[in-house]
Amino acid sequence: MKFSKFGVMTSLVALSLGLSGCKTGPVEPAKVESKEWAAFAAKSLEEYFKLNPSFAVYQGRHEFDGQLADWSPQGLQRKAESLKNLIDEAEEFDATLLTKEQEFERRYLVQVAKGDLFWLEDADAPHRNITWYFNNGLDPNTYVARPYADATSRAKAFIKYARAVPKALEQIKANLKAPMPLSFIDYAVPGFKGLASYYTSDAKAAFASAKDPALQAEFDAAAKDAATAMLAMADWMEGQRKTATQDFALGEEKFLRMLGDTEGVDTNIETLVKIGQEDLKRNQDALKAACGEYAPGASVQDCMAKMNASKGEGGPVAEARRQLPTLKTFLTANDIVSIPGTEEALVEESPPYNRQNSAYIDIPGPYEKGLPSVYYISPPDPAWTPEQQNAFVPGKKDLLFTSVHEVWPGHFLNFLHSNRAKSLIGRVFYSYAFAEGWAHYTEEMMWDAGLLKGDAEAHIGQLSNALLRNCRYLSAIGLHAQGMTLDQSRQMFLDQCYQDEGNARQQSARGTYDPAYINYTMGKLLIRKLRDDWTKGDRTKWKAFHDQFLSYGNPTIPAVRGAMMGTESQAVF
């Protein structure tokens, strides 16, 4: 999923935080909502938007259109100070004077600020990780692909954005510390080149209906200057290749701090490795059993190749468009989870500048009304061999569970719920482990619920996706806390998770600059354990569990566990 990727409040009303079970004894009088907390939260949100204008635009606050954040040393310092002040002031509130819902929101907001501060200062991402900028404002897709206003208005917003690009790139160049990890350079060069091409091709075409010649001339000039700056940045990054390193690791201490500050997960490396290896083996054993039925006598690799050889007619975009209605029908027919609203997701090929992942979804923020979400699917890298390109294109059943993950009932359904959360905190900010954990959890849940029951090929498709996330999980730990090399990670994707060479290269590289991609499997395990504890193994309660789980927005899963189980917030695997 596409998030600022990587993450709230004008009126605060109650979240539905119902606890399981009933308590006996005197009933405490209901608390009155604190107006002071509401005012503080509203002020904090506006300050956050001002310092992160691209994030605000992504949420649908178009008064910030065209603005990029100040990435100068002074701008980064203001951002850090704002986050620290938010944490200090929020923690000064007396919890006994807040309603249960407001106290949940207070902790939610503090966790968001701590997570942002981790990336800003502890991980030092603005100076060490080029992807931080791509995830925090460089992407102009909102102006180009979302029809939130007429073409003329959006073209003017894009022009303002494009004019801000050269200065922003100078700030980025000044911030980045050399030498840089090779995988970061490999990410950035096509990213900058792709944006340069996007400005003068897809973006230009998107605003063709704006007929004002003067506006079009202004657009062309701004897009050309921005593209020139992007190409120069790509050349500068290319020039870093001669001194490139493999120094990408956070280290064990910072890796564990990342989990605590961003996801509220307090654990140790030994526990993480143990539960990750157990889930890997569980899925490997299930795959071997399914392959024994689907391709008797074949190796697991040949079995996976057979599944992957069955491609959708017309390519993966056309196939995914056929899959979505079937998945939605299955959800409603089996009463698995509520579907609020009538929105549907579109399916398109991903733009050239954003093909680091095979699929993702762009979902309009809570301030937008009536806009489509777009499920993007990436074509293979044309630089690969024909064999690698063919292997990269997913088989139908593999793609089916990617569609589960991205749309029904994964990310798209999650945000249908969270965009309707009673608290704007839950609508605007998200936990990586909640969002990606939920999407990944739904893949296995749909199979267990009977999707294509008895179809071994479909089970292999589901397990292929599960194993991909297993190797992400173990690679994140290995690369950042255990001295694993990039090539060792790539080999693990090939040998342990049975991925093709193209995906193995792509996913191992991603682990160097996205250590938080541990959250797919970690989130899934946290959700599955919470479901089993809350339902006590009763499958008839799955819908009630899913609806309540999704009602909180996208906070950390330990916080949701505390609310649903009536305990302290804690990570239980």
Question: What pLDDT is stored for residue 145 in this prediction?
Answer: 87
pLDDT string in tens for the chain (573-residue length): 444 333 333 333 333 333 334 444 555 566 889 999 999 999 999 999 999 999 999 999 999 999 999 999 999 999 999 999 999 999 999 999 999 999 999 999 999 999 999 999 999 999 999 999 999 999 998 999 899 999 999 999 999 999 999 999 999 999 999 999 999 999 999 999 999 999 999 899 999 999 999 999 999 999 999 999 999 999 999 999 999 999 999 999 999 999 999 999 999 999 999 999 999 999 999 999 999 999 999 999 999 999 999 999 999 999 999 999 999 999 999 999 999 989 999 999 988 767 767 899 999 999 998 899 999 999 988 888 999 899 889 999 999 999 999 999 999 999 999 999 988 888 999 999 999 999 999 999 999 999 999 999 999 999 999 999 999 999 999 999 999 999 999 999 999 999 989 889 999 999 999 999 999 999 999 999 999 999 999 999 999 999 999 999 999 999 999 999 999 999 999
Residues 164-179: pLDDT tens digits? 999 999 999 999 999 9
Rounded to 5 degrees, what are φ and ψ at 292? Answer: -60, -30
Q: Determine what percent of the chain falls in helix, strand and coil, rounding each to the nearest 5.
A: 65, 5, 30
Query: Could you give the CA distance from residue 483 to residue 478 in angstroms, rounded to a whole number?
Result: 6
Q: Tell me, yes or no, if the pTM score tops 0.85.
A: yes
Pairing verdict, β 359-362 and 373-377: antiparallel
Burial label, 262 (beta-carbon count in 10 A; 0-12, 13-18, 19+):
buried
Least Cα distance to 425 among 156, 59, 121 occurs for 59
Rounded to 5 degrees, what are φ and ψ at 518? Answer: -60, -25
Q: Which residues pair with 362 in a beta bridge?
A: 374
Cα distances (Å, whole numbers) of residue 384 to 81, 314, 465, 501, 508: 45, 21, 22, 10, 16
CA end-to-end span of the chain, whole Å? 24
Long-range CB pairs of 528-533, under 8 A, 24+ apart, other chains included:
528/441, 528/444, 529/572, 529/573, 530/557, 530/560, 530/561, 530/564, 530/565, 530/572, 533/565, 533/572
Task: Determine contact, residues 441/409, Cβ cutoff 8 Å.
Answer: no
Residue in the block written with tokens 């290749």 = 241
